[in-house]
Chain A
């Protein structure tokens, strides 16, 4: 589609043919930092252990694929796309025992990872993107792309500025075709929702969606469902108010779920938003290795935005002992950065996120968001008024 597909397919095929990297004995002895390409073509730097972990992850991905194929053979093709299962209705009110059982199986299965080959289909259906697309004429995306071609707005200027800066060096994203596809998705969306327009951070999210989904059009619909249904409202609009709300909710959750860390960081005068803002706005795509990010997204698209809290809390929880020994803000940040960059094994993170954090229902989180909204609005309003008073003084 759009003449961009073949090259990307080639790139992906090429990656799958790269032999498993076997660290040489020399490298192991020297404990060198090695550069290698991960499952989605990103160049990563790590040590020999990281390479080994990544090889194990590749093997696990294959194993998980076999589990999915076996279930498909057993339950019928596309069993997981049946609406009552995919929309999570069955989990709330079971209609039939088999439907409920399937829904439970699916939830567990998704937390263990969707095989990369099935991701486009499963994400598209489970996230609600397919449903969203079905409510407009078939030609919506093509029409939109054509209608906005050549138009210049502040958003398009910013998008153009960021295209070569989005995952530079990636074998497909950083090519003229990659830039053009990313541009069409981002520009198209900026016209679909002019309140969002273009927000930095979406470039990374859309780029990763393009890599996963088979077509540019599907990537566009995934972006739409993400911003319009999956995430909290106004995460990316003019003053990022939704993002401010999420940060406040996150701080409260940290106090509740990791009280010792929260107390220690408070004593250091460390505001967790300093690091967590990027996590929430880029949906971890800028901090976690690609397969780990996509595993988070697997669950995000099925279980909703509360997953981001699970994962963010897990990152802190995993390093509790180390964090409690810090005396300085810089040390805290270094620990968190080192941790996220080296989380090559998605199960390490997701096990903590879902087994050690304890359950949080979407309902409780919605209530907490409601509670925080007025404070956020007041704060943003106060700031706006202060800035406006600066302008009046100028006159």
Chain B
């Protein structure tokens, strides 16, 4: 939990990506340490919370895991509105899901705030033999678009914690300590909706 004098960051995080890329599995692995081979498809969205404690800050994540099917995209703005971080997921064994991921990135760049911390996640790294998207290709695209790139496997748990720790670190960096004390006046509360820090 929060260390004394440590700042607390409340951050909304949204997961976007094509259906079956493993968004829910990523979150479940991170939040509960669980993995199910046949994870039920998410309808609308599912909500999770998790707290990460870093040396520089304690990050409280409000995680919105969204439905992947294309027609559900019309609901997405409701979920990414006010997000501090976005995780765009694709499946390394499906080129189509990478193309869809790029579309999400484009939409977020237009819609999200300019401080949005974005991660491009190549999930299902355990499916190496059927890989369709090369690491270089993903890395290059991420770099061009100011995101960080990471290859994960919700199944084996590879890099799952690293992904969320990296996001937490970036959020902490983007949210420097303020000398002001915890003063929950209206101004701060309004800002809270985006993401806030108070130290």
Contact = CB atoms under 8 A, between A and B. Distances in A.
Interface string A130-162: 000000000000000000000000000010011
Interface stretch (A186-194, A210-218, A274-282, A354-362): A274-282
Given A161-B19, A168-B36, A269-B193, A277 B107 contact: no
Given A201-B43, A387-B107, A390-B106, A164 B67 contact: no
B74 A200 contact: no
A367 B41 CA distance: 33
B34 interface: no
A281 B41 contact: no
Contacts of B62: 329-330
Interface in A269-307: 269, 271, 273-275, 277-278, 281-282, 286
A244 B64 CA distance: 19
Contacts of A253: none
A333 B47 contact: yes
B32 to A, nearest CB: 13
A277 B107 CA distance: 22
Contact of B72 (A200, A274, A330): A200
A263 interface: no
A384 to B, nearest CB: 9
A239 B74 contact: yes
B41 A200 contact: yes
Contacts of B68: 200
Interface string B63-76: 01001110110110
A240 B110 CA distance: 23
Contacts of A199: 69, 71
Interface in B29-45: 36, 38-41, 43-45
Contacts of A36: none
Nearest to A202: B43
Given A161-B19, A239-B74, A269-B193, A278 B41 contact: no
B43 A282 contact: yes
Central interface residue in A236, A241, A282, A333, by most chain B CB within 10 Å: A333
A7 interface: no
A22 interface: no
Given A201-B43, A286-B43, A333-B47, A273 B74 contact: no
- Interface bracket on A: 35 or more
B40 A240 contact: no
Interface string B146-161: 0000000000000000
B47 A390 contact: no
B164 interface: no
A125 interface: no
Q: Is the interface of A mostly helix, strand, loop or mixed?
A: helix
B191 to A, nearest CB: 12
A36 B71 CA distance: 35
B165 interface: no
A287 to B, nearest CB: 10
Contacts of A281: 43-44
A167 B38 CA distance: 9
Interface string A241-260: 10010000000000000000
A380 interface: yes
B77 A164 contact: no
Given A199-B71, A330-B62, A274 B38 contact: no
A165 B19 contact: no
Given A200-B43, A387-B107, A277 B75 contact: yes
Residue in B44, B67, B69, B107 with the greatest tally of chain A CB atoms within 10 Å: B44
Given A201-B43, A269-B193, A390-B107, A240 B72 contact: yes
Given A168-B36, A274-B79, A386-B110, 16 more contacts: A158-B69, A166-B40, A200-B41, A200-B43, A200-B67, A200-B69, A240-B72, A244-B75, A271-B78, A277-B43, A277-B45, A277-B75, A282-B43, A380-B74, A387-B107, A390-B107
Interface of A: 158, 161-162, 164-168, 199-201, 203-204, 236-241, 244, 269, 271, 273-275, 277-278, 281-282, 286, 329-330, 333, 380, 383, 386-387, 390
23 contacts: A158-B19, A158-B69, A162-B41, A165-B38, A166-B41, A168-B38, A200-B43, A200-B67, A200-B68, A204-B43, A240-B72, A241-B74, A244-B75, A274-B45, A274-B79, A275-B44, A281-B44, A286-B40, A329-B62, A330-B47, A380-B74, A387-B103, A387-B107
Closest 8 CB pairs of A and B: A277-B44, A278-B44, A168-B38, A239-B74, A278-B43, A200-B69, A201-B43, A164-B38
Interface of B: 19-20, 36, 38-41, 43-45, 47, 49, 62, 64, 67-69, 71-72, 74-75, 77-79, 82, 103, 106-107, 110, 193
